[in-house]
Amino acid sequence: MAVLENYIGNKWVASKDEGQSLYNAFTGEQIATASTKGIDFADVLNYARKKGNPALRKMSFQERGLMLRALAMHLREHLDKFYQISYQTGATKADSWVDIEGGIGNLFSYASLRRKFPDESYCLDGQAHMLGKANTFMGQHLLVPKEGVAVHINAFNFPVWGMLEKIAVNLLAGVPAVVKPATVTSYLTQAVVKEIAASGILPDGALQLICGSAGDLLDHVESQDIITFTGSASTGLLLKSGKQVLSQNVPFTMEADSLNCIVLGEDVQPGMPEWDIFIKEVRKEMTTKCGQKCTAIRRIFVPENKLEDVHIALGKALSQTIIGNPTHEKVRMGSLAGETQRKEVKEQVQKLLAVSQIIYGSLNSVEVLDADALQGAFMSPLLLLNEHPFTSSETHEIEAFGPVATLMPYQSMEDAITLAKMGKGSLVSTVVTADKNLAKQYVLGAGTYHGRILILNSQCAKENTGHGSPLPLLVHGGPGRAGGGEEMGGIRGVKHYMQRVALQGSPDMITAVTNVYQPGATGNLDTVHPFKKYFEELTVGDQLLTEKRLITAEDIDRFADLSGDHFYAHLKETDFTGTLFDKQVAHGYFIISAAAGLFVDSYEKNPVLLNYGIDELRFTKPVYPGAEIYIRFTCKEKTGQEKKEPADIPRGIVKWLVEIMDDENEIVGIATILTMVAKKS
């Protein structure tokens, strides 16, 4: 019998203790045992802090992002192996695609997110604040990677996605991870970690794996660590209340199973596209992963006068779902993850039956294809009906974590909102409607109790990712019963693993610390024009003060004719009484164009390849004919780019602070422009 090894301290370690037996979910055959007996969890965490953390902290966001991309590409080379193991968890090919390739997709998403960060190991957070009238004292928030380890305690339903969606975020932030998957499906997680370790892509200590009990792991966490938990709310509360977690104020992010709901809008009638979309979505969410999803639909709210029609349509749709051997090409729903899970689901259904009745499926029998219904953890989809949802709290409090959902009536959208909120906090809700007003009413009414809301109609039906699919760049979590935490979320998620420091000091000091030029800092004046410097030769703070240009009424007239912008404020003959201006004023876009004419070195070929864009453009003071303007042009920030093709020109992106000054030395306009600059080598 195979014994699952734990990946600890850059080594594969097997426990001598037999531990927990693991089974093939659809045949019932034992396939392995898992145990963590003998592992010193204090050593595990210390190895991550002392070995993995310093290595990741030394890397820039760009390097860490490219590391994630390399890891994703490596794992894609082993998909067939992962699929074959995934089938043993009871997952079909479609289920496995979500778990395996969805998880790898998260790595790709966070690899791409590196472009939103600087070429440093740290980053700024928000805008700078001038704290003194003379501009010699300022404040700026800075984010630095924490010096601890991310401890991920994951659920059994997504053994690959559950790990990869979390480590993608902490690794981009510069923090190592210890992953503890649910033991029952940990053999699939281990197979993926085997390939990660073999690739050599991650630094030593960046990832460790525990297959089996977590033991006293959380008794050794420290203040720089971060804990994430996915699973039941009761287990999460127990872990979150641990003495060491509380005494060290360890951040704890919980994503708990919740009673997610879908609402059919009052406007939707049989025959409308939205009707078919609704039926299809409910069926998919009840049967995908055999209903074992923290985001699955558990409560179905429909207008009272459409209850019977929905009942019939859902029964017909569910009857077309073939259940059985997940490797069979005709099978659309596999088994639960194991006999323990099936027993728990049936126990929860029995509680729900105190206030509801089964209107589709059977609790004790199921027809399967190419499998043994008794040996495997198979279960029929169960559609329940609760005709009195306002007086039956069980439906809003008890979750059967399988292919089970309850149909309930409502009379008005206000009723639907009230019922949705009776779940006391959910990860996700969907409203299916073609009515914009109903959609707005539902979102604003139910939004406080949900982490995500999908508005589903015929317009987005083809491209939408579905009720049950969290997205890498959007937060995954929810309030109340759902745990109160946030996972993923793009840049927001990365910040969970970083310490926010409020810096105060002079612009020169803040520039030196952050390597981002701050307004008011001393510039590096040079006789060489900045545009004549290659990417490597540029230094943050390199500055150019341009000659002055006189702005005339003729300039303004010509720009109006050239651009077609004849806004009244730009015309000499306008009566300016009651306006914000004294007389004809220059177009803001003319001023920024004139600024470019002053700071661009225009006659010789130079390392600047192209203008990449303009950010944060503001016009702060009117410019009238007769004024003279000049530019303070400063290298603000640099970010290198990797080659996409061997023939690509080596280059990087340079941000420039453009301050447009008038003859009173006051800023009349300010912007950040981006240029693509060639590298010398």
Instruction: Give the residue carrying structure tokens 């004419």.
Output: 597
Give the integer Cα–Cα distance in Å for 587 and 435.
42
From first CA to last CA, the distance across the chain in angstroms is: 56
DSSP, collapsed to helix, strand or coil, labels residue 95 as: helix
Longest dimension (CA), the chain: 93
The Cα-based distances of 148 to 56, 120, 671 in angstroms read: 11, 19, 38
Contact 345, 337 (CB under 8 A): no
Counting DSSP H helices and E strands in the chain, the numbers are 19, 29
Nearest Cα to Cα of residue 174 among 55, 273, 330, 38: 55
DSSP, collapsed to helix, strand or coil, labels residue 323 as: strand
Of all helices (H) and strands (E), which one includes residue 595?
helix 588-599
Give the integer Cα–Cα distance in Å for 101 and 104.
5
Give the integer Cα–Cα distance in Å for 27 and 326.
11
Contact 359, 385 (CB under 8 A): yes
Contact 258, 155 (CB under 8 A): no
| DSSP assignment of 554-574 | HHHHHHHHHH----GGG-TT-
* DSSP tag of 369: B
Contacts of 10 (CB under 8 A, 6+ apart): 47, 51, 197, 204, 205
Give the integer Cα–Cα distance in Å for 457 and 454.
10
Our answer to whether residue 294 is catalytic in this structure is yes
Give the integer Cα–Cα distance in Å for 140 and 505.
9
Task: Decide: residue 1, CB within 10 A, 0-12 exposed, 13-18 middle, 19+ buried.
Answer: exposed
DSSP, collapsed to helix, strand or coil, labels residue 96 as: helix
Our answer to whether residue 635 is catalytic in this structure is no
Give the integer Cα–Cα distance in Å for 165 and 68.
11
Give the integer Cα–Cα distance in Å for 169 and 171.
6
| CA 170 remoteness from chain centre | 12
Of all helices (H) and strands (E), which one includes residue 76?
helix 61-76
Give the integer Cα–Cα distance in Å for 413 and 173.
42
Contact 182, 89 (CB under 8 A): no
Give the integer Cα–Cα distance in Å for 404 and 551.
72
**Catalytic site residue from 123, 211, 255, 266:** 255
Give the integer Cα–Cα distance in Å for 85 and 71.
20
The Cα-based distances of 125 to 128, 208, 347 in angstroms read: 9, 30, 49
| DSSP assignment of 215-231 | TTGGGG--TT-EEEEEE
**Catalytic site residue from 211, 261, 294, 635:** 294
**How wide is the angle at C-alpha 396 spanned by C-alphas 390 and 398, nearest 5°?**
140
Contact 108, 69 (CB under 8 A): yes
Nearest Cα to Cα of residue 485 among 252, 678, 279: 252
Task: Decide: residue 137, CB within 10 A, 0-12 exposed, 13-18 middle, 19+ buried.
Answer: middle
Q: Which residues are catalytic?
A: 255, 294
